Amino acid sequence: MTASADHLKALLSAHASGDDDRFYGIALQVAAKSARQGHTRFAKELRELIDASRAEKISRPASPTPVVQPRGELASLLTADYPETRLADMTLAESARGALEKVLHEQRQRGRLERFGFTPVHRLLLSGPPGTGKSMTASALARELGLPLFTIRLDGLISRFMGETASKLRLVFDAAAQTRAVYLFDEFDALGADRSAGHDVGEARRILNSFLLFLDQAPAESMVVAATNHGRLLDSALFRRFDLAVVYEPPSRDQALEVLSRRLAAMDTSTVIWEDLAALTEQLSHAELVKAAEAAAKQAILGGSDTIGAGQLSDALNERRRLRHA
């Protein structure tokens, strides 16, 4: 016996948490130990198996979930995606990143929690200004968990179905109980905040109440993520109905520069003096910074260069600022 009981336990726990790197790392340790003990043939076979299995994993699509497409009426209520965004690709405040990593950890270990009668965090409220990464977060959660992302735009749902909205919501929540996925209810404030926009207030209340009822009963099978721009306007009773609320903020100067440099990772930015750009990033959201970086990169590429000149980036940032104040 060349794999110790500890190795086996570690292998199982790495497998359960979906941590491939750790899984293969432990398997390689077993191979190394076997080689040291003189079982060279076994060690060699194990290494070959690990290599083959790794190669196969890479060539397979990242998501192990079979492609699920909503059918029938459901198809008109939500859109399905298999996002590629990783959480590590996002620039986030430490508090938000910590909260999201905890969510992923609980979701990955849900079997362990459920055996003791606990459920992982599965009802999430994301609030913050436009372009700070709320929708992107839902994509990243889906990608990290290998799940499809189903997006429901509440503003569209309400204006399309009016009095029938609550029964449409029931359909979506029924699907959430059956098909494990991340369900993003985007523009969530369409339900809560907009009391002054001339909508039928009584109707909006009724829809909100049905949503909350469904949310209370939502099984831990799927994740329900609601995103809103108007965290302050939603009443605090509403926040409590979610397991966790994550607040998104405009980027700090350092975060702004990180967003720019990450988006320009494929380019040569050695001539850019980042500190000089910091003031120009003020008041721009993550999304606007990404757009400015893309504009500068495209200009450089089409001009025949892979080098971003400092002038190009500051021009693009100024242009974004102009658009914002237009």
One-letter identity of residue 298: K
Measured between alpha carbons, how far is residue 256 from residues 59, 132, 178, 311 in Å? 35, 11, 40, 17
Among the listed ranges 20-28, 127-135, 173-181, 301-309, the one in contact with ligand ATP (CB under 6 A) is 127-135
- Which residue from 124, 224, 241 is spatially nearest to 172, judged by alpha carbons? 224
314: contact with ligand ATP by CB under 6 A: no
In whole angstroms, give the CA distance from residue 44 to residue 49. Answer: 9
Among 16, 50, 247, 287, binds ligand ATP (CB under 6 A): 287
Give the chain's radius of gyration (CA, Å): 24
Backbone angles phi, psi at 80, to 5 degrees: -105, 140
**Which of 96/300 has CB closer to ligand ATP?**
96
Query: Which partner, ligand ATP, Mg ion, none, binds residue 143 by CB below 5 to 8 Å per kind?
Result: none
In whole angstroms, give the CA distance from residue 200 to residue 191. Answer: 11
Measured in Å, how far apart are the chain's first and last C-alpha atoms? 72
Q: How far is the CB of 294 from ligand ATP (least distance, A)?
A: 9
107: contact with ligand ATP by CB under 6 A: no
312: contact with ligand ATP by CB under 6 A: no
Query: Which partner, ligand ATP, Mg ion, none, binds residue 136 by CB below 5 to 8 Å per kind?
Result: ligand ATP
Sole residue written with tokens 């790495």: 14
Helix (H, G, I), strand (E, B) or coil at 281: helix
Query: Which partner, ligand ATP, Mg ion, none, binds residue 229 by CB below 5 to 8 Å per kind?
Result: ligand ATP
Q: How far is the CB of 136 from Mg ion (least distance, A)?
A: 8
Among 133, 148, 192, 231, binds ligand ATP (CB under 6 A): 133
What residues make contact with ligand ATP under the rule CB under 6 A? Answer: 90-92, 130-136, 227, 229, 259, 286-287, 290
